[in-house]
Amino acid sequence: MANHLSAKTRIRRNARRYELNSSRLGRIRTFVKSVETAISEGDKPAAQEAFKAAMPEMHRGVRAGILVKNTVARKLSRMNSRIKALG
């Protein structure tokens, strides 16, 4: 590892980015898990509320560059159709 200032700054910046991204991914996983739980319990209103809360967080992940836009769109579409199928 280089000992000069610019290398240390870069290492700190990368560590900070990883820390932010991992916390954001954890938050997204929590939102998705709450939607999945509500769907598995068959609670349509709770699933819809959880879905509404999860959507903006997933889009933030896309904007931050830690999630892929097409993958998020597909996952949101699948969750939405599963919620609609609840009854």
pTM of the entire structure? 0.73
Question: Taking Cα atoms as reference points, which of 81, 66, 75 lies closest to residue 27?
Answer: 66
Q: How far is CA 15 from CA 10, 31, 33, 35, 55, in A?
A: 9, 25, 27, 31, 27
Question: Taking Cα atoms as reference points, which of 55, 64, 52 lies closest to residue 19?
Answer: 64
CA-CA-CA-CA torsion sign (30, 34, 35, 37): positive
Spell out the per-residue pLDDT of the chain, length 87, in tens.
567 667 777 777 777 777 778 888 899 999 999 999 999 999 999 999 999 999 999 999 898 888 899 999 999 999 999 999 997
> What is the Cα–Cα distance from 60 to 23, expressed in whole angstroms?
13
